Structure 1
Amino acid sequence: MIRSTITQQDLQDQDKMSTIVNELFDQVADLVKESKQWSLIYRHGEITTRKNKSNSYIQRSSRHTADQVTYDQLRSLLHLNHSLNETKYIKQLTDAILLQKVNAEADLVRLSFKTPAPCSNREFVELVATREHNRSFMVVSQPAEYHSVKKGHVRGAYKAWELVNEIENEKGEKIVEWTCIQHSSAGGLIPRFISDLFAARDFHHDVKCIINYIQENK
Structure 2
Amino acid sequence: MDDVKKKVLLDLFASPWVIVPLVGGLSAWLLSWGMDGNTTLNMVGLAGVLAGMGIQASRLIFGIEDLTKKAHSYVTEQEKLAQEQKLDQLMARLKQDEDPRSEECLKRLRTLYTALALEAPHGHTATMFREKVDQLFQAAVRQLERSLELWEKARRLPGNTSRLLLTERKKAIDEVVLTVNHLSRTVEQYHAFQLKDSDHELAKLREELDRTIEVARRTEEVIDALDAPQRYDDAEYER
Question: Shorter-normalised TM-score: what interval?
Answer: under 0.3
The structure that has the greater radius of gyration is 2
Q: Judging by fraction of residues, say which structure has more strand.
A: 1
TM-score normalised by structure 2 residue count: 0.21
- Structure with the bigger RCO (C-alpha within 8 Å, sep 6+) is 1
Q: Judging by fraction of residues, say which structure has more helix.
A: 2
